[in-house]
Amino acid sequence: MDPEAIRVGGICGSLGSKSYNLLLLRAAAEMMPEDVLYEEIPIGDLPLYNPDLDGDSAPEAVRLFRDRVKAVDGLLFTVPEYNYSLTGALKNALDWASRPVADSGLYDKPAAIMGASQGTFGTVRAQLHFRHVAVFTNMHLVNKPEVLVREPRAKFSADGRLEDGETRQLVGQLVRELVRWTRVVRSGRAELSAR
What residues line the site for ligand FMN (CB under 6 A)? 14, 16, 19-21, 80-84, 117-119
Phi and psi at residue 8, in whole multiples of 5°?
A: -125, 135
H or E, element range at 130: helix 124-137
Kindly state the smallest distance separating residue 78's Cβ from ligand FMN, in Å: 7
Kindly state the smallest distance separating residue 29's Cβ from ligand FMN, in Å: 15
Kindly state the smallest distance separating residue 83's Cβ from ligand FMN, in Å: 5
- Closest residue to ligand FMN, judged by C-beta, is 119
Kindly state the smallest distance separating residue 9's Cβ from ligand FMN, in Å: 18
Looking at the chain, how many residues does it have? 195
Q: Which is nearer to ligand FMN, 19 or 137 (CB)?
A: 19
What is the spatial distance between Cα 82 and Cα 117, in angstroms, rounded to a whole number?
9
Ramachandran area for residue 167 (φ above 0: left; ψ -120 to 50: alpha; else beta): alpha
Q: Which is nearer to ligand FMN, 158 or 192 (CB)?
A: 158
Pairing of strands 85-86, 81-82: antiparallel
Q: Which is nearer to ligand FMN, 127 or 137 (CB)?
A: 127
Q: Which is nearer to ligand FMN, 42 or 119 (CB)?
A: 119
Q: How many of the other CB atoms lie within 10 Å of CB of 80?
A: 24
